[in-house]
Amino acid sequence: MDEVRNTVLIPCAIAALICIWKVVNTLWVTPRKLEKHLRNQGFIGNKYRFLYGDTKEMSMMFRQSRTKHINLDDEDGVLPYVTGFTHQSLQKHGKKFITWMGWKPRVTIMDPELIKDILGKLNDFKKPEIHPLGRLLATGIASYEGDKWVKHRKIINPAFHLEKLKDMAPAFQLSCKEMLVKWEMRCSSTGSCELDVWPHLQALTSDVISRTAFGSSYAEGIRIFELIKEQSVLAMEVFQSIYIPGSRFLPTKRNSRMKAIEKEVKLSIRNIIDMRIKAMKAGEANYDDLLGMMLESNMKVGNQHQNKSHGMTIDEVIEECKLFYFAGQETTSSLLVWTMILLSKHKEWQSRAREEVINVLGDKNMDIDGLNQLKVVNMIFYEVLRLYPPADGLLRKVDKDITLGGFLVPSGALIGLSIMLTHYDEEYWGSDAKKFNPSRFSEGISKATKNRVIYFPFGWGPRICIGQNFALLEAKIALAMILQRYSFELSPSYVHAPRTVLILQPGHGANLILHKL
């Protein structure tokens, strides 16, 4: 019996020791080795703290910022408020520092040449794995790597060609016109009214995505938007915490809610896709919206190779649709709301933009050729995206030891690219880096940046945001139509609280006073 017992116990004991060693190696031995390696190359930062690294301090500073607000005139207060921990680390350690995302070191890079290398070399610097619960919000082309990313980019690209975007301009105008009718009703009695424009701009961009992506109005897709908005808040909570393997299976309130939202959103989008495919087979399909163009492109790729594996599966199409819903709506609404807030403060630029719009377009409908002549509006958008980019940073990982700018980044390290810290850096932008000055872009982005990668609100390189032109055209049409009809200023009740909920947005809304022209 003892021999039988030993035959069972000894392998179990060995297996247990191996598991314990793997945990110790992952959570302690490897992080300490990586820390020593990075410090020997001149990187400084906080010492590694078991399991949590810097995440507790990051989360604490993030929560504290939620209870505060800053003065809009306090140009020095934006970075500490929005990127609290990263900005603190920069002030404390300089431009070459380490922070800890749990047990993984994150090396923050701010050198333009190194940023160019990191964003340009897809095979060396990859996107890190998304938190398993965070993937419930959306995956799609924004998170794929390698051949899968190449395949999806090829299929989706045709939907974002400039000629296709021109065909969508009437839908942009119709959505904006409906929003302005609501503003007209609010301001009809006195010609002026106070309005929180933030939810209106969110509804506008949601409506645009519904019309241009799925051929339906916002009213029909409102449930999907409500769910995705709730999911983004829950996902933000997830990204602020350490993921313990297997914890996503626990029946916690947040886990259960996120899974329920994902199930309902997928079912709704699948129904839209199923109806479209049925119409395609009956020869009654609409190929003018993003979904139609994507399904058409997907079908052509599959037929070209006589193999469905070269196209996207229905589940993959659903993920791309979820990404359209989230990224397409949030990015443009963020750009528009910060533009209106900053033009409310800097009225001389609001006047210059309105004068240009009226001189070029008059009070007529938006003309694409005319829109392309709005130089001042372009300058304003570029400057707003510099100061209030949709995302405050990007993250990459390395799976092998890589030499970067004379130092060796060890396998397993993360690389952080802080968009906001780089956009506000006086070394690159001059002493007025924190000030709103669209004139810096009077000769375009290349001249303003001296051809350095110091400006990347939509990313840079091969993985630059595929929807960048879509967002800018939509925002340009909306702003031009608003400027034709209204002047606007900050309400005394406006509270400046830029807050990241995956996308940078006004934490207490955007209360403005509108005046009919």
Residue 344 has what pLDDT?
97
For residue 349, give every residue at least 6 positions away whose Cβ sits within 8 Å of its Cβ, in sequence order, or none.
342, 343, 376, 380, 436, 438
Quote the tokens at residue 117: 């290398």
Quote the tokens at residue 130: 């998304």
How do 393-397 and 498-501 pair as beta strands? Answer: unpaired
Residue 325: closest CA among 187, 230, 408 = 230
Query: Quick count: other Cβ atoms within 10 Å of Cβ 385?
Result: 26
Query: Per-residue pLDDT tens for 12-34?
Result: 888 888 888 998 899 899 999 99
How far lies 162's CA from each of 168, 169, 173, 376, 467, in Å? Answer: 10, 11, 17, 21, 11
Q: What is the pTM of this model?
A: 0.92
Q: Could you identify the residue written with the tokens 């965070």?
A: 134
* Residue 511 near residue 491 (C-beta atoms within 8 A): yes
Residue 311 has what pLDDT?
77
Q: Could you identify the residue written with the tokens 């119409």?
A: 279
Give me the count of residues in the chain. 517
Phi, psi (rounded to 5 degrees) for 250: -70, 140
Residue 291: closest CA among 325, 266, 339 = 325
SS (H, E, C) 227-246: HHHHHHHHHHHHHCCCCCCC
Residue 67 has what pLDDT?
83
Query: Per-residue pLDDT tens for 283-339?
Result: 776 667 778 877 877 777 666 655 556 678 888 888 888 888 888 888 999 999 999
Q: Could you identify the residue written with the tokens 């029909």?
A: 220
Asked if residue 1 has pLDDT above 60, the reply is: no
Asked if residue 432 has pLDDT above 80, the reply is: yes
